[in-house]
Amino acid sequence: MQTYVVGGAVRDELLGLPVQDRDYVVVGATPERMLQAGFQPVGKDFPVFLHPRTHEEYALARTERKTAAGYKGFVFHTDSEVTLEQDLIRRDLTINAMAQDEQGHITDPFGGQADLQRKLFRHVSEAFAEDPVRILRVARFAARFSVAPYDFSVAPETNTLMRQMVEAGEVDALVPERVWQELARGLMEIKPSRMFEVLRECGALQRLLPELDALWGVPQPPKYHPEIDTGVHVMLVVDYAAQKGYSLPVRFAALLHDLGKGTTSPELWPSHHGHEERGEKLVSQVCKRLKVPGDCRDLAIMTARDHGKVGRALEMRTATIINLLERNDAFRKPQRFQEMLLAAECDCFGRSGLTDIQFPQPAYLMRALHAAQQVNGGEIARQCAAHPERIPEAIRAARIAALHNIKE
């Protein structure tokens, strides 16, 4: 029985990166021997065990056979005769198909170390095509390893294989929860735009997020967007959100904020019935299809609908600002409203070639919210006790009056 560290831990150590988690493969063992050694079984699909002291996961070396479409259509086989190389060949990329024994010796049968030096994501074998999740994983790795000194790219033959998988309909078999899981992880990487670029290059983005894919080629006003292309702009916006270290809901809202421009005539963009209204519906559609969690869904819808209004805040009447605050439930959920302002900030600063942009609107709106919050609703309710139907309008009038002070 021989134990090896495999996968990402070996890759990251060779890259000089901190190793967060270690995955282990055990060769020459059986479930009975693992139990006798004190390991606790946890795997459902194939034998995985928890170490009796460290509680790290140890998987028995295994082979797999494709039996149905999608990423769940596999039958796994484990026994003491399965070799380390047989286990490694089923992995996705060569840089993830290396193993290190207890003495530190590295087993690298598929050229993973050479591909690390070449900065290439290259599939191990044609078995890559059997699991569509691997397309998402490659795209996510691209988002992680896309800046100096790494700056990895997808090998041409791997991109060709991924495109063939898309054309064969493998991506269509992915369940929404898994798509969201991988997209969310990619959004939290250092350069999320690379994930979406990789998905576009192989055709997967059009199948998974056609609303986003439709933005490339849509023109932007060059006065405000030197990058001109809406798809390029959105990538700059989401990368800006990543650079600032913003939360997943903010990054997701930044990603989808301009969806309406893909289906709206450019001359209608500035109007209330233009791209923002259409974008709100498209974001709702995406979130329903991918079963996006509520916090990400709500912020993305708010941002798509009102990011343009944030930009026009300094020219708004006080009553319109109160409308904006009320519509976004800012009085009950000020933190979420502030996150929407962060997403609007990303939209403003996610532009190429503009270095002296000023964006005081979020600070102004937060001052407006603070001023309106000072209105004593309880006191107004007591004053209107004889006519309770007047309470909402009286509170609203008091809030509007409070905003006049910050405008002066």
Q: Which of 3.40.50.1980, 3.40.50.1100, 1.10.10.1100, 1.10.110.30 would CATH assign to domain 132-208?
A: 1.10.110.30
In the chain, the percentage of residues whose pLDDT exceeds 70 is 90
75-113 pLDDT, tens per residue?
566 777 889 999 999 899 999 999 999 999 999 999 999
Rounded to an integer, what distance in angstroms lies between the CA atom of residue 403 and that of residue 173?
52
Rounded to an integer, what distance in angstroms lies between the CA atom of residue 353 and that of residue 122?
34
Rounded to an integer, what distance in angstroms lies between the CA atom of residue 25 and that of residue 62?
9
The vertex-184 CA angle with 137 and 72, nearest 5°, equals 50
198 HSE (CA, 13 A, CB side): 30
376 pLDDT more than 90: yes
234-282 pLDDT, tens per residue?
999 999 999 999 999 999 999 999 999 887 655 555 544 467 888 999 9
Residue with tokens 């039958």: 75
- The mean pLDDT value for 288-299 works out to 98
What integer pLDDT is reported at residue 275 of this predicted model?
Answer: 77
Look up residue 174 and give its DSSP letter.
Answer: -
Determine the residue type at 277.
Answer: E
φ, ψ at 355 (rounded to 5°): -110, -15
138-155 pLDDT, tens per residue?
999 999 998 888 889 999
186-244 pLDDT, tens per residue?
999 999 999 999 999 999 999 999 999 999 988 876 666 676 789 999 999 999 999 99
Task: Write down the pTM of the prediction.
Answer: 0.89
Domain ranges of the chain: 1-110, 132-208, 214-353+361-371, 374-408
Between the CA of residue 318 and those of 179, 390, 394, what are the distances in Å?
A: 42, 20, 15
Determine the residue type at 83.
Answer: T
12-28 pLDDT, tens per residue?
999 999 998 899 999 98
Q: What's the fold here for domain 1-110?
A: Beta Polymerase; domain 2 (3.30.460)
CATH of domain 214-353+361-371: 1.10.3210
CB 191 within 8 A of CB 242: yes
